[in-house]
Amino acid sequence: MTMMGTLNEKRDQLLLPIVGIVGMLALWEGVTSGLGVVSEIVLPAPTTVLAEFSDTSDLIIQSTETTLFAGVVGFLIVVVFAPLCAIALTLNDRVEKAFMPLVVGVNSIPRVTVIPLLVFYFGDDIGTGYIIAAWVAFFPMFLNAFEGFSRLNEDHRSLLSMYNASVWQEYRYVRLPNGLPRVFDGMKIAFTLAMIGAVVGEFIMREGGLGHLAMIGMRTANTGLVFASVFVIGIISTVSIFLLYLLQDRLVFWEETNFFTTE
């Protein structure tokens, strides 16, 4: 590919998403505020949401700090413990066969149904929000890490056997490098789910946060405030996933993510 072609590809990568977002917002504004097809109580126009954000910016920023902190703490808990649990199950086939059905069974339980129990056991303060965020995000992260660490083909097995590799060497040189791309895939899902868990927890806790703020908006029929809260969560999750892609490109340099490539 020529230099000009590469520059055009990079320009398109930057501009096309912006054009898509601006076009969607313009259509949304026209349907609600311009044509009045949908009531603004049901679907507030982007300008209404922006005005609500401007009027309550201090409250939204304060609530964002609470939700973001809970989501990040839950995410970090998952990033530490989920891969460790995955390694524990891949160390021994018997351990995997003994505990994997339990993991699958627990994973099949709807997360929302467990939240009232967590509140009952741990209270309705911010600490429970960390647990809820971690609980919601744990299993996707664990399953991706487990799948990544389990990927050993016959060539890998033969090589490890030839060198009589120890368990540490097996993970250091084969399983961990093979599993890192899947671990990062799990991290991207886990962060989004951790934020969702933090928000859902705030629906039933007495502490503030974007979830609590959205509930106030619904009770007062202020859908502009609800949409402003949702947009903030969406922006945080999008930026965080983008940063995880950047980190993956740096650490997993031997495998392309197809996110920043221009070919």
Mean pLDDT lowest for which of 36-40, 86-90, 114-118, 140-144? 36-40
Q: Do 114 and 56 share a structural domain?
A: yes
Closest by alpha carbon to 176, among 157, 153, 142, 151?
151
Question: Domain holding 201: CATH number?
Answer: 1.10.3720.10
* The pLDDT of residue 207: 66
Q: Do 223 and 161 share a structural domain?
A: yes
Domain count, the chain: 2
256 lies in some domain:
no
Burial class, 24, CB count within 10 angstroms (exposed 0-12 / middle 13-18 / buried 19+): exposed
Q: Give the C-alpha separation, 187 to 54, whole Å.
A: 32
Burial class, 129, CB count within 10 angstroms (exposed 0-12 / middle 13-18 / buried 19+): buried
Q: Do 94 and 74 share a structural domain?
A: yes
Q: Do 131 and 29 share a structural domain?
A: no
259 lies in some domain:
no
Q: Do 173 and 112 share a structural domain?
A: yes
Q: Do 123 and 71 share a structural domain?
A: yes
86 lies in some domain:
yes
Q: Give the C-alpha separation, 261 to 263, whole Å.
A: 6
70 lies in some domain:
yes
Neighbours of 222 (CB within 10 A): 18
Q: Do 202 and 121 share a structural domain?
A: yes
Q: Do 117 and 2 share a structural domain?
A: no
What whole-number percentage of the chain has pLDDT above 70?
Answer: 89
Q: Is the pLDDT of residue 262 over 60?
A: no
Neighbours of 4 (CB within 10 A): 8
Q: Do 74 and 33 share a structural domain?
A: no
In this predicted model, what pLDDT tens digit does every residue of 136-186 receive, in sequence order?
899 999 999 998 888 777 777 777 777 777 778 778 878 888 888 899 999
DSSP 54-83: HHTHHHHHHHHHHHHHHHHHHHHHHHHHHH
Q: Do 25 and 60 share a structural domain?
A: no
155 lies in some domain:
yes
17 lies in some domain:
yes
- In degrees, rounded to 5, the angle at the alpha carbon of residue 39 between the alpha carbons of residues 38 and 40 is 115
Distance of CA 256 to CAs 74, 156, 178, 181, 246, Å? 28, 21, 13, 9, 11
Q: Per mean pLDDT, which of 91-100, 152-161, 241-250 is the most reliable?
A: 241-250
Please enumerate in sequence order all residues whose Cβ is within 8 A of that of 181, keeping only pairs 6 or more positions apart, or say none.
148, 248, 252, 255
258 lies in some domain:
no
Q: Do 180 and 131 share a structural domain?
A: yes
Q: Give the C-alpha separation, 263 to 245, whole Å.
A: 17
Compute the Cα dihedral for 103, 109, 115, 117 and give only its sign. negative
112 lies in some domain:
yes
Q: Per mean pLDDT, which of 14-18, 90-94, 135-139 is the most reliable?
A: 135-139
DSSP 144-176: HHHHHHT---HHHHHHHHHTT--HHHHIIIIIH
- Please give the residue range of the domain that contains residue 22: 1-38
- Residue 36 backbone zone (phi > 0: left; psi -120 to 50: alpha; other: beta): left
Measured in residues, the chain has a length of 263
* The pLDDT of residue 14: 67
Q: Do 69 and 28 share a structural domain?
A: no
Q: Is the pLDDT of residue 260 over 60?
A: no
